Amino acid sequence: MGIILVHPEAASRLNYLKLPMRDRASTDAIEKSFERLAQGIDHCVLRLVEKRRLGVSVRLDVPEPVLNDHVSGCMLTVVEDGGAGYAATGDLSEGGLELALKDARDRAKLTASHRLFDAARLPIPADRARVDNRSAGGLPGVTDCLAMTSDASRRIKAAATNAKAMDKIADWSAAIEVAECHSLLLSSAGARIEQSYGYVSPGLSVVARDHGQSQQRSHGDGHMARQGGLEQLDVVDFAEHGERLVGEALALLRAPECPTENTDVLLMPGQMILQLHESVGHPLELDRILGDERNYAGGSFVTPEMIGSYQYGAECLNVVFDPRVPNELASYAYDDDGTRAERHDLIKDGILVGAIGSASSSLRAGIPAAASGRASSWNRPPIDRMANINLLPGDHDLGALLASVERGVLMDTNRSWSIDHLRNKFQFGCEIGWLIEDGERKGLIRNPGYRGVSANFWRSLDRVGDRSTEAVLGTLDCGKGEPNQLMQVGHSTPACVFRNVQVFGGG
């Protein structure tokens, strides 16, 4: 089969917009243009990105305007005289590529005069591969999404009506975002890496309000994105949670505040995703460790010398960088630098053993790369990013986790996140919590939050849940970089118990 970045069948299944995408002929033309333009340049890379995104939501039973987004453009990167420069353009004609190449060469020349490192040492991608991770079942189209979100919305309304509490439900919504993404990487060393995948991101949200108190419950809502298609909406039970959310939001209005004390916490995957993301994933990014992010996203309390010996957490803590998990959001075969992606241990038996770095950061730090050079789109350069950062399950089911807690708090569904610039002092808040007494889940509590220090917190990890407690989650909106970029990252994690944590409530 030829070079087609959007499969015609998939395009028709999306049934919302059939823009003139890169067909075989136009993709061939881009490749030929690149071949001509890159002649005589040792290190030149073209990265073409196309993405179509559909977002359907129903709020208060009324469909919102449909999000219908098409992205198409490319970035050219050149390394000359030890300097690297890039230029991004939406003009994919030969003239457009020629102008971009000139811009990239000018900036490579500028960088060479004031370079942070010798880019001539960077590896140039040379692999040839075609990877298609799209769902065989296809992505839902506009009418499918409208039907599913309308159904979910009606169920929420029915639950509120049955509870005779419509006057206390201030807002609700049901939403689905789906996308199909394609990239093509070409290099002057002969690389041709073509990758395709789709994702779905469902979300339900209910807000109850009474006597000056608002309480929200959600399911998905930005943290449950997965690669794949229609079948993944079944996996996450998209429409089945409305009644539960209504009941919990109403109950939270009357629930007591989370107590303020030092106690044990049992964190469910809906909160563990943020804990793992903020205080393991980000601190292990090599560009932070190397200082690139000190002006914006921050540095890290981790130093290169710690890798191999630092006791990051308890012995039951095992974390991997794994971009090859089917259906997890940040799965890929090659990163946007063209580095082949493989699973790496990050924390093994509590000891820090690896970091998350692209080829360039690896070169600078002298630490093996993890194929984590990723860009949010054609208009941003690759930077060090998490892919799927997964906490490996242990051997305790939920009953055993609860039974291990004499007094504590169970928390679920992140709603607030904040951490210092070195990824140490954090504070998180959750939508819902329950007291745990004598190994049993007791009464509901509202506004549960906790704070701690990463360097100590993971050492207080005492129990890791088994696969029955695990969830595969993912977020579309991890912000970082200058210029800024939003990135998709995946996290799978079981429920976990931590000892002696500072918890608090609202007010």
Partner 1 sequence: MSRYSAVVERECFYTLADRAAAQAESGEVALLNLRGECSDFIRYNRTRIRQAGRVRQARLRLTLVRDRRQASATFDLSGDESADRLRLESVLGELRQLCKMLPEDPYLHFATAVNSTDRTEPTSLPRAGEATAQIVTAFDGLDMTGVWACGESCSGFANSMGQKNWHAVGSFNFDCSVHDGTQSVKHSLAGQNFDADALNATAAQARQTLSILSRPPKRLDPGRYRAYLAPEAMGDILGLLSWGGFGLKSHRSGRSPLMRLVDGDVHLDPRVFVDEDVASGFAPAFTGEGFVRPQRVPLIEGGRFASCLVDARSAQEFGHSVNASAEAPQSLDMAPGALADEDVLRALDTGIYVSNVWYLNFSDRNACRITGMTRFACLWVEGGVPQGPIEPMRFDDTLYGLLGERLLELSRNRPLSLDPDTYEGRSFSSARLPGALVEGLRLAL
Residues 450-469 that bind partner 1 (CB under 8 A): 451-453
Q: Would you count residue 416 as binding partner 1 (CB under 8 A)? A: yes
- Whole-angstrom Cα distance, residue 23 to residue 3? 8
Which helix (DSSP H) or strand (DSSP E) does residue 147 occupy?
helix 142-162
CB of 67 to partner 1, least distance (A): 8
Q: Which member of 14, 73, 265, 334 binds partner 1 (CB under 8 A)? A: 73
- Among residues 44, 79, 104, 445, the one that binds partner 1 under rule CB under 8 A: 104
Restricted to residues 312-351, the positions that interact with partner 1 (CB under 8 A) are none
| Choice from 29, 146, 353, 471 touching partner 1 (CB under 8 A) | 146
The Cα–Cα gap between 68 and 53 comes to 6
Contact of 231 with 135, CB cutoff 8 Å = yes
Residues of span 275-304 touching partner 1 by CB under 8 A: 290-292, 294-296, 298
Residues 6+ apart with CB under 8 A from 161: none
Q: Tell which positions 347-376 bind partner 1, by CB under 8 A.
A: none
Least Å distance, CB 115 to partner 1, is 6
Quick one: 381 or 490, whose CB is closer to partner 1? 381
Site for partner 1 in 179-198 (CB under 8 A): none
Q: Which of 6, 87, 178, 351 touches partner 1 by CB under 8 A?
A: 87
Least Å from the CB of residue 308 to partner 1? 23
User: Which lies closer to partner 1 via its Cβ, residue 114 or residue 164?
Assistant: 114
Distance in Å, CB of 292 to partner 1, minimum: 5
Per-residue burial over 183-206, b if 16 or more Cβ lie within 10 Å, else e, is bbbbbbbebbbbbbbbbbbbbbbb
Q: Give the shortest CB-93-to-partner 1 separation in angstroms.
A: 6
- Interface residue with partner 1, options 417, 441, 444, 459 (CB under 8 A): 417
Dihedral (CA of 350, 356, 359, 363) sign: negative
Q: Which of residues 47-66 bind partner 1 (CB under 8 A)?
A: 62-63, 65-66
The interface with partner 1 within residues 247-266 (CB under 8 A) comprises: none
Per CB under 8 A, 26 contacts partner 1: no
Query: Residue 261: beta bridge partners?
Result: 503
Given 82, 96, 123, 137, the residue binding partner 1 (CB under 8 A): 96
Which pair of tokens denotes residue 290?
């190397």
Alpha-carbon span 384 to 357, nearest angstrom: 5
- Return the residue of 6, 46, 83, 371 that touches partner 1, per CB under 8 A: 83
The minimum distance between CB 383 and partner 1, in angstroms, equals 8
Query: Among 133, 213, 311, 404, which residue sits at the site for partner 1 (rule: CB under 8 A)?
Result: 213
Gap between the Cα atoms of 170 and 166, Å rounded:
8
Q: What is the dihedral of CA 244, 60, 170, 267, to 10 degrees?
A: 40
For partner 1, the binding residues in 422-451 under the rule CB under 8 A are 422, 425, 427, 429, 447, 449, 451
What CA–CA distances, in Å, run from 258 to 201, 245, 265, 447, 469?
Answer: 30, 19, 12, 6, 23
**Do 309 and 324 touch, CB atoms closer than 8 A?**
no
Selected range binding partner 1 among 206-214, 218-226, 392-400, 404-412, rule: CB under 8 A? 206-214
Please report how close the Cβ of residue 231 comes to partner 1 at its closest, in angstroms: 23
Shortest Å, Cβ 349 to partner 1? 29
In whole angstroms, how close is the CB of 18 to partner 1 at the nearest point?
Answer: 6
Reference 52, options 186, 225, 177; nearest CA is: 177
Nearer to partner 1, 333 or 386 (CB): 386
β-strands 407-419, 261-267 pairing: parallel
The phi and psi torsions of 179 (rounded to 5 degrees) equal: -150, 155
Which CB, 52 or 241, lies closer to partner 1?
52
The conformational region for residue 240 under phi > 0 = left, psi -120 to 50 = alpha, else beta, is: alpha
Cβ of residue 235: shortest distance to partner 1, in angstroms?
A: 26
Nearer to partner 1, 107 or 499 (CB): 107
- Nearest CB to partner 1, comparing residues 22 and 396: 22
Least gap, CB of 66 to partner 1 (angstroms)? 7
What region, left, alpha or beta, does residue 242 occupy, with left being phi > 0 and alpha being psi -120 to 50 degrees?
alpha
Question: What's the one-letter identity of residue 142?
Answer: V
How far is Cα 85 from Cα 36, in angstroms, rounded to an integer? 19
Q: Single out the residue of 143, 161, 262, 303 in contact with partner 1 (rule: CB under 8 A).
A: 143
Peptide bond into 483 cis (omega under 30): yes
Token couple for 102: 């000139």
Q: Which is nearer to partner 1, 89 or 195 (CB)?
A: 89
Length of the chain: 507
Of 111 and 327, which CB lies nearer to partner 1 in the complex structure?
A: 111
